């Protein structure tokens, strides 16, 4: 099979490429990435020379470029990870989120229709369901939960999901959608909670916790997400949505304290800052469907996954220090400067 993986120079896409090349060496992977601020070619250096891997620098909104690539590669499967993915940036400037997340998804699916495809898989997010109240721990997101978004980011992802389902119903495109909870692991860009806190701890900088730190996220080790995605593209039913999550809910403040402890840093680094606008309170996935249909269960316990992640950031300082010392500094100043 030839599989186009978009957004493969980002966090989850790169981990997915490593997983696929290791588990399915018979397949060919073509990575398409625009290399935005979040895309990092050095992440892919260990697979660059492999004969069954190709990297193409391309914007998924570039219709001509995408069609040309489909003509050349005749892919069997497309897995779309490419997206603007950070909620805070979407609050600062929504426009590029609409462009990449919605228009880009449309371009990819038009190419799939034009050249034929066995499967188009859309990597969506649990954020399309909005949030759950803290005082109802009995509630979880199922695939039937109505879409009810809070941020420009999640709205753009929900818009893409609706378009994907419309292409299935109207044009018979063989699609699947997955909606995963918060991922953590190696190669996550340091603007996101866990790597930001690890990097700041290691640099003895303040740890900016939004609001009171009571918001709850359902954390999944990235490799478990990759495995679930692989199962869905091979055995998932066309036209279906699959939620992915490991019943691992944690409050932000508890994650930050845990990172302090693991790195031997004092909790006085924790600084409570102005809350995120429209901040979702709690995400919690019910993964019963993917478990029942595809036998998927998460394999990495949080205690083990977070330790592995912290160790990775400790041993790959060059990877993230290059990021935090560059353009990211301006972002950080804008986002946290007088918060």
Q: Interface residues with ligand TDX (CB under 6 A)?
A: 85-87, 125, 127, 182, 192-193, 196, 208-210, 215, 217, 252, 276
Query: In the numeric block, which tokens belong to residue 53?
Result: 């891997």
Provide Rg for the chain, Cα atoms.
Answer: 19
Measured on CA atoms in the order 165, 245, 296, 310, is the torsion positive or negative?
positive
Catalytic hit among 59, 84, 129, 153? 153
Helix (H, G, I), strand (E, B) or coil at 125: strand
- The three state secondary structure string of 166-185 is HHHHHHCCCEEEEEECCEEC
Identify how many contiguous H helices and E strands the chain contains and give both numbers.
13, 13
Count of residues that interact with ligand NAD, criterion CB under 6 A: 30
Give min distance, CB of 215 to ligand NAD, in A.
14
Catalytic hit among 33, 59, 84, 127? 127
List, in order, residues 6 or more apart from 177 with CB less than 8 Å away: 121, 122, 124, 161, 164, 165, 240, 241, 242
99-138 mask for ligand NAD (x: CB under 6 A)? -x---x------------------x-x-------------
Active site residue 62: no
Task: Report the candidate in 300, 181, 176, 179 with the shortest Cα–Cα distance to residue 232.
Answer: 176
Q: Which of 2, 36, 52, 142 binds ligand NAD (CB under 6 A)?
A: 36
Q: Is residue 320 a contact point for ligand NAD (CB under 6 A)?
A: no
| CB nearer ligand TDX, residue 22 or residue 136 | 136
Give min distance, CB of 85 to ligand TDX, in A.
4
Q: Is residue 38 a contact point for ligand NAD (CB under 6 A)?
A: yes
Give min distance, CB of 37 to ligand NAD, in A.
8
Active site residue 153: yes
Residue nearest to ligand NAD (CB): 10
Q: Which of 34, 119, 227, 282 binds ligand NAD (CB under 6 A)?
A: 34
Catalytic hit among 33, 59, 126, 230? 126
CB 9 within 8 A of CB 33: yes
Query: Of ligand TDX, ligand NAD, none, which one sits near residue 309, judging by CB under 5 to 8 A according to partner kind?
Result: none
Stretch that binds ligand NAD, among 10-18, 203-211, 274-282, 306-314 (CB under 6 A): 10-18
Give min distance, CB of 200 to ligand TDX, in A.
9
Q: d(Cα 19, Cα 25) in Å, to the nearest integer?
A: 10
Task: Report the candidate in 98, 43, 41 with the shortest Cα–Cα distance to residue 222.
Answer: 43
Q: d(Cα 253, Cα 251) in Å, to the nearest integer?
A: 5
Active site residue 126: yes
Compute CA 317 distance to the chain's CA centroid, rounded to the nearest angstrom: 22
First-last CA distance in the chain: 49
Cite the active site residues: 126-127, 153
Q: Which residues bind ligand NAD (CB under 6 A)?
A: 6-7, 9-13, 33-36, 38-39, 59-61, 81-85, 100, 104, 123, 125, 157, 180, 182-183, 189
């Amino acid at each position: 099979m030839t599989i186009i993986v978009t957004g493969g120079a980002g966090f989850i896409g790169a981990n997915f490429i490593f997983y696929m090349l290791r588990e399915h060496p018979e397949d060919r992977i073509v990575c398409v990435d625009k290399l935005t601020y979040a895309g990092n070619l050095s992440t892919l250096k260990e697979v660059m020379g492999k004969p069954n891997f190709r990297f193409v620098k391309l914007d998924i909104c570039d219709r001509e470029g995408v069609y040309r690539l489909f003509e050349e590669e005749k892919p069997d499967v497309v897995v779309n990870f490419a997206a603007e993915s950070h909620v805070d940036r979407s609050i600062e400037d929504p426009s590029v989120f609409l462009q990449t997340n919605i228009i880009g998804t449309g371009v990819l699916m038009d190419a799939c229709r034009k050249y034929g495809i066995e499967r188009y898989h859309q990597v969506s997010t649990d954020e399309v369901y909005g949030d759950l109240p803290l005082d109802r721990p009995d509630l979880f997101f199922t695939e039937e939960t109505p879409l009810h978004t809070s941020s420009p980011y999640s709205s753009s992802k929900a818009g893409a999901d609706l378009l994907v389902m419309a292409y299935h119903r109207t044009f018979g495109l063989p699609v699947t959608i997955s909606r995963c909870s918060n991922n953590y692991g190696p190669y996550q860009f340091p603007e996101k909670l866990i790597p930001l806190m690890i990097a700041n701890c290691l640099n003895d900088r303040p740890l900016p916790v939004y609001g009171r730190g009571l918001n709850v996220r359902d954390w999944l080790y990235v490799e478990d997400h990759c495995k679930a995605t692989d199962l869905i593209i091979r055995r998932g039913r066309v036209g279906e949505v699959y939620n992915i999550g490991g019943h691992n809910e944690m409050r932000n403040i508890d994650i930050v304290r845990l990172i302090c402890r693991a790195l031997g840093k004092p909790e006085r680094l924790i600084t409570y800052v102005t809350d995120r606008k429209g901040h979702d309170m709690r995400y919690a996935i019910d993964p019963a469907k993917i478990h029942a249909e595809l036998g998927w269960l998460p394999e990495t316990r949080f205690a083990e996954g977070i330790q592995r992640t912290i160790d990775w950031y400790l041993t790959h300082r060059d990877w993230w220090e290059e990021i935090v010392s560059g353009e990211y500094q301006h972002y950080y100043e804008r986002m946290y400067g007088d918060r």
